[in-house]
Chains A and B, each alone.
Chain A
């Protein structure tokens, strides 16, 4: 997708890790040169994805990478887990769908916030979501 510049791995297993992943993401976003509002948006997207890991998979990790492409830089975040996976990805990506009593805005919300969004999941094999936000 792009050159790999530097990366940061955060284990996600509890609430405090969600905060840690969000803060690291924001720090990398600032380094790469995302505007302050964009930093906050990326942090929110990471928060949504990391929260899903804690709520549904129990344990996973976020890989935060600064990437560059001709003339522009961005932040690529890969959030993955080995949890139960998602039965119906299409449903999970629609607003208001939730199996956990939440607002059901996590995945669709995160998708709206970022420039590129990619999700892979098979039931029983965990979830991997990649999001990218350009500066």
Chain B
């Protein structure tokens, strides 16, 4: 049984075993491959005609016509299409084939050709191929069997292309999330020597690091004695987030600043205790007001020294 993980992993790095699994998942058997390979020369004969009809069809749409405005682009794409058809009917479905499918998927994605356009065009293409087979292959039954075999491969192709779309989309979303997590966490100077940092959202490891750096830089540039980290807006705290907070506080202490944490919600408090985080090392106060009172106390103690 194929796991989702195997389906999701990079096709380029597919091992032979994984490719075998993918082929058997699509029920592509040796008989299919042999059948397709047996008509390689016939396919070569009609590929030009099919490709011509394919582009006549596509180019009747304005969007596509714009895309292939120059004659040279169109020629290049047609050559690519012919090469694709040659590979599809060559009967060799190895790592190189899968990597090439992925590359084509990426090109479509970049060109803004979405799944609907892609699959729609593919259907037209397969239809033309089917008609050619019906005319050129011995019996209708043989033509039908051939077409069924081709359909299996075509569907695997489409699956790979869709996978590429999804992966590309995921990469985009991740980049956007990165960007959002890099939204500067404001470090506010409440008064001379006292900084307030309202932490909002999710503290993933990347964001926690940039928060630490921003804080330490602010301590230096604003000559802070005390900083109040308010985590009212943090949705969840696990041991990693707690660890980051502890490390930030230790680093701040090394730079001569005391840290105070405020705004721990009841559920966060319970979770931290149950996980086993030593809460005494987190200098915590119930709310911001208390936190500021403690900050004042520390600062006046410093002044008296």
Which A residues from 79 to 135 make CB contacts under 8 A with B? 82, 95, 102-103, 105-106, 108-110, 112-113
- The answer to whether A15 touches B270 (Cβ under 8 A) is no
- The answer to whether A59 touches B204 (Cβ under 8 A) is no
- The answer to whether B275 touches A112 (Cβ under 8 A) is yes
Say yes or no: is B268 at the interface (Cβ < 8 Å to chain A).
yes
- The answer to whether A61 touches B271 (Cβ under 8 A) is no
Say yes or no: is B202 at the interface (Cβ < 8 Å to chain A).
yes
- The answer to whether A16 touches B236 (Cβ under 8 A) is no
- The answer to whether B240 touches A16 (Cβ under 8 A) is no
Say yes or no: is A68 at the interface (Cβ < 8 Å to chain B).
no
- Encoded as 1 (CB less than 8 Å from any B CB) or 0, chain A from 32 to 62 comes to 0000110011011001100100000001110
- In the bound assembly, the distance between CA atoms of A121 and B4 in angstroms comes to 21
- The answer to whether B275 touches A48 (Cβ under 8 A) is yes
- Encoded as 1 (CB less than 8 Å from any B CB) or 0, chain A from 19 to 36 comes to 100100000000000001
- Which of the residues B174, B236, B274 comes within 8 Å of A113, measured between beta carbons? B274
Say yes or no: is B143 at the interface (Cβ < 8 Å to chain A).
no
Q: Which residue of A lies closest to B173 (CB)?
A: A16
- In the bound assembly, the distance between CA atoms of A106 and B241 in angstroms comes to 11
Q: Which residues of A contact B177 (CB under 8 A)?
A: 16
Q: Which residues of B contact A14 (CB under 8 A)?
A: 174
Q: Which residue of B lies closest to A22 (CB)?
A: B236
- The answer to whether A41 touches B239 (Cβ under 8 A) is no
- The answer to whether A19 touches B271 (Cβ under 8 A) is no
Say yes or no: is B73 at the interface (Cβ < 8 Å to chain A).
no
Say yes or no: is A77 at the interface (Cβ < 8 Å to chain B).
no
Given A40-B271, A103-B277, A113-B271: A82 and B5 interface contact (C-beta under 8 Å): yes
Which B residues from 203 to 255 make CB contacts under 8 A with A? 204-206, 236-240, 242-243, 246
Would you give the shortest CB distance from B276 to chain A, in whole angstroms?
Answer: 5
Q: Sort A-B residue pairs by CB-CB distance and give the 9 closest, nearest first.
A: A109-B275, A40-B267, A15-B204, A47-B238, A44-B271, A105-B239, A103-B243, A105-B276, A103-B239
